[in-house]
Amino acid sequence: MKKMRVCRLFAGIGMLLLLTVGFFPCESVRADQETGEVTLESDWVTLTPEDSEEAPVVPEEDWEDPYAAEHARAAQILADNLSATGMTLNGEQRIYDFYGKFSEEEQEEISNWIIAQELKGNISIRVFVAEMNAEDEKYFLEECTDALCDNGYAKEDMAIMLLNLDAYNRGVCIQGYGLCEIQINDDRIEYMLDDIIEWFLADDYVYGVKLFAQEAAYYMTVEEMVPSLPTDTTRPVGGTTYVPYYKDNSFKGKMSRMPWTMIVIVPVLVAGIGIFLMVNNNGSKKTTTDKTYMENDTSGLTAQRDDYIRTSVSKSYSPRSSGSSGSSRSSGGRSSGGGGRSGGGRSHSGGSRRF
């Protein structure tokens, strides 16, 4: 009897261990990140264009750009940045740091990480770091995409991110092209922003960028919740809108970063506190109250006074907020941007947020 119980206990612990080790794709990638090693997980499903029922949108011949002026301005920003830093767009570089935010080592670390993620998701991932006005971000990324894809420097299936470090317009903008437009749709970009922004706010830019690449690759492999066919085409310019799969995912970002130590330590605390309470309550409790022996009929107040004396008033200045919740993350509120179409006619999903 006792032996059986012990056996059951061990079997249970064994199963739990299996559960935790087996089902943590994000966690296992993160472990790699700490050692600097990049490995391909066998449980990652790579998605080829044939898998998708809808072929990616390709530039059309008769495409007339309604945002030609914006695109021209964005092209100018890209050109200015390239000339100022002496960089040129190429097929090798994953991160274009026009701002000079990352050191060479950091850039190498990020690049290696991105290359690994690209393999997992079978997509291209590019990151730009620059300064500009918030309204230019979207068009800037569209211009970058056209410039990269037209020259064959990147795949048509591309996730691209702009980290805008302008002092007054600090923000992130993410866009997905080709297959990424379907897999990394607007809703998923919102989730990604939820996660990534936290790291930028915590001043860990390297990890934030890496997390973007990781989640982009991850979403390429997650089929569920992405409708196979676009069902709504109400988006004003190009692209497609998908049935939103709003699902309360507000814990997701936190959980994917839930450290192993937490999964181990929290149960220790639960068990410790639980046992402490049980041992402490192991005795008899008082079952009389203050009223047990009081004779209600003959007991009561004989005098009571509540004399008002004075009122003191102080006031503090607190301007009414204009509705936005500042830098706090909001999964519910859609951030600016959304999808659109590049000057070259490439349709994309997108989202951006200030931080």
Partner 1 sequence: MVIDFKCPQCGGGMEYDSELGKLQCRSCQFEQAVEDAPEIEEEEIVQELFDGSTIPDESEFSNEVEEKETSVYEEEQEFMCESCGAAIVTEPEVSATHCPYCGSAVAFGERLQGKLAPDKVIPFTVSKEEAKAGFRKWAKNGLLTPKDFMTEKRLGEIIGIYVPFWLYDMNVNAEADCNCTKKRSYRRGDYIIHETKYYHVYRRANLNFKKVPADASVKLDDAMMDLLEPYDYRRLRKFEPGYLAGFQAEKYGVDAEGLLPRIKERVNGYAQSYLKSTIKGYSTTTYNNQNSVEEKQQEYYTLLPVWLLTYEYKGEKMLYAMNGQTGKVVGTPPVSWGRVAKWISILYGGSFALLTLLAYFLV
Q: Which residues bind partner 1 (CB under 8 A)?
A: 9, 12-13, 16, 19-20, 23-27, 249, 251-252, 255-256, 258, 262-264, 266-268, 270-271, 274-275, 278-279, 282-288, 290-295, 298-320
Residue 202 or 294: the one with the smaller Cβ distance to partner 1 is 294
Residue 224 CB, nearest distance to partner 1 (Å)? 12
* 332: number of Cβ within 10 Å: 10
Task: Report the C-alpha dihedral over residues 205, 177, 218, 103, rounded to 10 degrees.
Answer: -20
CA distance 260 to 237: 45
Residue 254 CB, nearest distance to partner 1 (Å)? 8
Strand partners, 349: 176
Q: Is the torsion defined by CA of 222, 225, 231, 235 positive or negative?
A: negative
Pull the structure tokens for residue 258.
Answer: 């839930």
> Counting beta carbons within 10 angstroms of the beta carbon of residue 247, is it exposed (0 to 12), middle (13 to 18) or buried (19 or more)?
exposed
Residue 22 or 332: the one with the smaller Cβ distance to partner 1 is 22
Pull the structure tokens for residue 123.
Answer: 């997509």
Question: DSSP states of 171-188 as a string?
Answer: EEEEEEETHHHHHT-HHH
Residue 13 CB, nearest distance to partner 1 (Å)? 7
Distance of CA 302 to the CA centre of its chain: 65
Residue 11 or 229: the one with the smaller Cβ distance to partner 1 is 11
Q: Is the torsion defined by CA of 235, 126, 149, 143 positive or negative?
A: positive
Residue 324 CB, nearest distance to partner 1 (Å)? 17
To the nearest 10 degrees (0 to 180), the angle between helices 68-85 and 137-150 is 70
Residue 25 CB, nearest distance to partner 1 (Å)? 7
Residue 287 CB, nearest distance to partner 1 (Å)? 7
CB contact burial 271-283 (16+ within 10 A = b; e otherwise): eeeeeeeeeeeee
Residue 112 or 249: the one with the smaller Cβ distance to partner 1 is 249
Residue 25 or 230: the one with the smaller Cβ distance to partner 1 is 25
**Alpha-carbon distances of 222 from 53, 56, 182, 184, rounded to whole Å:** 15, 18, 11, 10
Residue 168 or 293: the one with the smaller Cβ distance to partner 1 is 293
Residue 234 or 304: the one with the smaller Cβ distance to partner 1 is 304
Residue 188 CB, nearest distance to partner 1 (Å)? 14
Residue 208 CB, nearest distance to partner 1 (Å)? 18
Residue 84 or 271: the one with the smaller Cβ distance to partner 1 is 271
